[in-house]
Amino acid sequence: MKLRHILPLGLSASMLLVAGCASSTRLQIQRAPELSLPGVKTVKIKEFDVTGDLDLDLVSGKGLLGAVVNAAVDAGANALAAKKDSALQKQNLSDLRQAIAQNGYFTVTDGEDYDAVISGSSYYEVKDDGEEVESKEDGKTRRVYELRRKASTRVRFTVADKTGTVIAASEASGLQTSTASGDYAGEARDRIESWQTLVRKSFASADAALVKKIAPYYVTENRTFESGDDKSFKAANKSAQDGVWEGAISTWKAALGGSTKDKAAAYHNLAIYDEYKGELDSALAKYLEVQKLAPSSSHAADVARTQTRVEEARKLREAEAARAAKAAPAPIPAPVAEPAPAPVTAPVATPAPAAGGSINAPAKPKAAARKK
């Protein structure tokens, strides 16, 4: 067993205990992805080509025999490390589909009704590094063989729409390590985690990084409440830490009329509450007020962090608007009204002809009566 210094650990624990006296709260923060995929709701994932290289410590015995076996096997076994590993390829596809589905932002489909298709290639490299080291156990020193195995992965991917136009491209990486020791190299090799398991874990971490590049995700962040000159801050901050915000808010608002330190602490704590509610513009305004009252690097960091969150929230709103617009059914055009038929004009009646005359001849006036 290797000797370790315990004094720094005890000192660190004491420092954490002191730091832990301040009340704090943990917030669930939604982060925007690095890449923008406007209007994409359903994705199809193609199988990635998976290739890799192995550089394994293959010593399987002690002394000269181990050296002979290593020399004979090393070149052949490492050369046979699949340049195109179909088993890992299928496993990687399954794990990537699961990672994207668990995030919940996109629907994953095998069919043809999709908005975008994700394709790419994956590469892994496994490297062993072994050496003899001294180990102290029960006051005795002995030599053991220590083997360290590192599996690194890189995933390159593109996102294209149904026409084949690439709308985003990036890459993600992963890393996993394992260590084992034994009386000789072969024993250490038998105890160490298999390279296949390490590669899969490494690809899983790369997949998680890939998802964060294309979809919103949540992280947990800590916020520490500040105290002012007023003694009531301690109880109020503890109340907020326990999730009872109402009484704490009243105390902080009352402290806005106190000393400069009280005002700065109150604005700081009220800004945290705004973050908790998701009111980021209001939180930013309060953090700016804190920086004016009590300039410091930590308060400047609060401002910068919240400015980033405001910008990310804007991007998320725009992305949701694009998705909603694509999902909305196209409006049905109103029917075009046919023009009304022209009114029928009644025929003009032709006057009847006078008796004994023609139609066009005027009637003759009657003769005056003769007097007797």
**Beta strand spans in 190-335 (E):** 217-224
217-232 per-position pLDDT tens digit: 999 999 999 999 999 9
**Alpha-carbon torsion 289, 236, 249, 303, what sign?**
positive
Instruction: Give percent above pLDDT 70 in the chain.
Output: 75
Parallel, antiparallel or unpaired: strands 166-182 and 217-224? unpaired
DSSP H or E stretch at residue 122: strand 116-137
**What is the arithmetic mean of pLDDT over 294-323?**
95
Tell me which residue has tokens 């939604």: 30
Fold of 33-215: Double Stranded RNA Binding Domain (3.30.160)
330-367 per-position pLDDT tens digit: 566 666 666 666 666 655 555 555 555 444 444 445 54
Contact assessment for residue 151 and residue 192, using Cβ atoms and an 8 Å cutoff:
no
Fold of 223-326: 1.25.40
Q: What average pLDDT does the chain have?
A: 84
104: left (phi over 0), alpha (psi -120 to 50) or beta: left
Query: Where along the chain do its domains lie?
Result: 33-215, 223-326
**What is the arithmetic mean of pLDDT over 275-303?**
97
Contact assessment for residue 256 and residue 289, using Cβ atoms and an 8 Å cutoff:
no
Helix crossing, 232-241 with 260-277: angle to 10°? 10
Contact assessment for residue 146 and residue 178, using Cβ atoms and an 8 Å cutoff:
no
The CA radius of gyration of the chain, in Å to the nearest whole number, is 41
